[in-house]
Amino acid sequence: MFAGVFRMHLKCPECDLPYFPEPGYYLGAIYFSYALSLLVGAPVAVGLLMAGVAYWPCIAATGGVFALLWLPIYQYSRVLWLHFDNALTG
Ligand SMILES: [Zn+2]
């Protein structure tokens, strides 16, 4: 799907599925981005808090995890949105 860090192919090289069927198509990917961020961040934050780490270092560590993982979260949220939309609309 991705031709670079942010750049996407216009369509699938295998099956010609258009990756940009309409303007603003990937706005819906924010829901998957939120879900993925929650899946990644919540265990880190809750785990550190339960281990007795203070609040602000816990927030900083969780932010550090997001600083490392923003790119796969961004890209996979678009992939998941495309699959979700195609599963619903065909
Ligand atoms: Zn394809």
Long-range contacts of 41-44 (CB under 8 A, 24+ apart): 41/65, 41/66
36 Cα to the center of ligand 1, angstroms: 23
The pLDDT score that the predictor gives to residue 64 is: 97
38 Cα to the center of ligand 1, angstroms: 28
- Helix 29-50 × helix 55-89 angle, to 10°: 150
39 Cα to the center of ligand 1, angstroms: 27
Non-local CB neighbours of 44 within 8 Å, separated by 6+ positions: 61, 62, 65
- In the chain, where the domains are located: 26-89
18 Cα to the center of ligand 1, angstroms: 9
13 Cα to the center of ligand 1, angstroms: 6
Query: What radius of gyration do the chain's Cα atoms show?
Result: 16
Confidence of residue 56 (pLDDT cuts 50, 70, 90): very high
Question: Which amino acid belongs to residue 62?
Answer: T
Name the pTM for this structure: 0.87
The pLDDT score that the predictor gives to residue 38 is: 97
The pLDDT score that the predictor gives to residue 90 is: 75
- Mean of per-residue pLDDT scores for the chain: 95
Q: What is the mean pLDDT of residues 66-74?
A: 96
